[in-house]
Amino acid sequence: MEVKLRLLRYNPETDSEAHFEDYTIEASPMDRLLDCLHTVKWEQDGSLALRRSCAHGICGSDAMVVNGVNRLACKVLVKDLSQPITVEPIRGLPLIKDFIVDMEPFFAGYRAVKPWLIVDEHEHEPARERIQSREERERYDDTTKCILCAACTTSCPIYWADGEYVGPAAIVNAHRFIFDSRDTGSRERLEILSGKGGVFKCRTVFNCTDACPRGIKVTLAIQEVKQAALYGSQ
Ligand code: FES
């Protein structure tokens, strides 16, 4: 089938601002958008800049705005997209070139919530593994699925407007540890998330939940962290 693409292009060396360019390629209906972008890059314009690695929805490299909504280019099929397919870089992060943005502000928000297991010092060298029941593991199962693609955070209008907000992905990753029965750092994280750039910036828009390619209930996780900040995590 013939596929028409409208790609937002930006080269900092030659362009004063981003602009759309149109491309027409041949593709199979079962091809993914990532395949189409590869065809443009490999057969029509080698200067097209994009990130991708696994091509299977695991690494989180290729989040883009596809026909107005955040998607992974490797997880959408051409047959499911209306044409022309409009592709833009994710929003709210500094644009570097074409579909490549500076992810550092996103990862700064992620690091700020201490996304690792914190244990009391006297438990530093436990005599045996830290036992967890099936129910305790289930409590945070959904938020273990995050691949840090930034699709949720960069779909959030609060994040676009407020440089202090850590964003949905950071809160999802805080949730993963706050509700882990082995972790003892919940109070520390909840104090951070009760601060100026924290969880109460969320206005429950639900864009994050719609954008997540892993199907994480992002807004629910944020609500649970809000409740934990107010009433405790147990
Ligand atoms: S290329 Fe890895 S998630 Fe799409």
Identify the pLDDT of residue 100: 98
The span from the CA of 68 to the CA of 36, in Å, is: 18
Q: Of all atoms in ligand 1, which is nearest to the CA of residue 62?
A: 4
With beta carbons less than 8 A apart as the criterion, state whether 151 and 63 touch: yes
Task: Kindly report the pTM of this predicted structure.
Answer: 0.94
Smallest CA separation from ligand 1 atom 1, residue: 55
With beta carbons less than 8 A apart as the criterion, state whether 115 and 35 touch: no
Identify the pLDDT of residue 121: 65
Q: Of all atoms in ligand 1, which is nearest to the CA of residue 73?
A: 4
Centre of ligand 1 from the C-alpha of residue 89, in Å: 15
- The 10s digit of each residue's pLDDT in 159-200 is 999 999 999 999 999 999 999 999 999 999 999 999 999 999
Identify the pLDDT of residue 126: 75
Structure-token pair, residue 74: 């490797």
- Ligand 1 is surrounded, with C-beta below 6 A, by 52-55, 57-62, 72, 74
Q: Of all atoms in ligand 1, which is nearest to the CA of residue 213?
A: 3
Centre of ligand 1 from the C-alpha of residue 190, in Å: 31
DSSP string, 82-120: -SSEEEEPPSSS-EEETTEE--HHHHHHHHHT--S----
- Ligand 1 pocket: which of 54, 100, 145 to mutate (most atoms within 8 A of CB): 54
CA 80, 24, 213, 188 torsion-angle sign: negative
> What letter would DSSP give residue 77?
B
Identify the pLDDT of residue 127: 80
Per-residue pLDDT of the chain (234 residues; tens, 9 = 90+): 999 999 999 999 999 999 999 999 999 999 999 999 999 999 999 999 999 999 999 999 999 999 999 999 999 999 999 999 999 999 999 999 999 999 999 999 999 999 999 988 666 677 888 899 999 999 999 999 999 999 999 999 999 999 999 999 999 999 999 999 999 999 999 999 999 999 999 999 999 999 999 999 999 999 999 999 999 876
CB burial class (10 A; 0-12, 13-18, 19+) of residue 181?
middle
Q: Of all atoms in ligand 1, which is nearest to the CA of residue 53?
A: 1
- The 10s digit of each residue's pLDDT in 59-73 is 999 999 999 999 999
Structure-token pair, residue 234: 């147990």
